[in-house]
Amino acid sequence: MRAVRRTSDDRADRWCGTVVRSGRWARRALGLVPEVACYRSGYTSPSGATNEGARLMLNIEIARYGFGIDSTLGRLYVSADEREFECFTIEDERRLVKVQGETCIPPGTYLVKLRTEGGMHASYTNRFPEWHKGMIWLQDVPDFQWVYVHIGNTDDDTKGCILVGQVPLVMPDGEFTVGRSIPAYEALYRKVTAALDAGEQVVVHVHDTTEAFV
């Protein structure tokens, strides 16, 4: 086995009792790449939509590339004036036949609205009274209802919804998790609500890939 040369930025981070090396090889394994790799000039979304001309639409792309037995890891990009990496995502596992509360949503393009009803909306209103206006709600997801983007760390925190976080990690059992979910959610939320308040459409494009760098 080839020895791994330690570099100056190798260090040990502890998260949920797991040690993760964060040198160059670890960042590659988790899809942590320099910002230059997160921008593609003239990007066209998986649905064929572009952001050329006047900004009338906020495009959110979720490229899912890590597939565990119980979890799915993705990278989330926001395209307004240009395509930019935003954060990581966690969902339930992929299945050919949906199991309630244990399946990620199918690839597709989904319009976003804010939902101002339900227990989660009430909880987030109490938790974030200064900026919460409603849950980020994906419309018309086949065989799913009330699909939100929200806060969480592992697949146990979702029943078909999309969780966001700034730090991706691989657990000892091979499953994926994310850290720093609240700041990731607030940053994305403010962009979504700013676009909606400006009268723009917000669209989420979800697709699967075998490439960590997309």
pLDDT at 82: 85
pLDDT at 97: 84
pLDDT at 40: 30
Going by C-alpha positions, the residue among 27, 26, 93, 89 that lies closest to residue 62 is: 89
Question: CB-side exposure of 91: number of CA atoms within 13 Å?
Answer: 27
Domain definitions of the chain by residue range: 12-47+56-208
Residues 151, 186: Cα–Cα separation, whole Å: 9
Q: State which residues of the chain have pLDDT below 50.
A: 1-47, 49-54
pLDDT at 80: 78
pLDDT at 54: 46
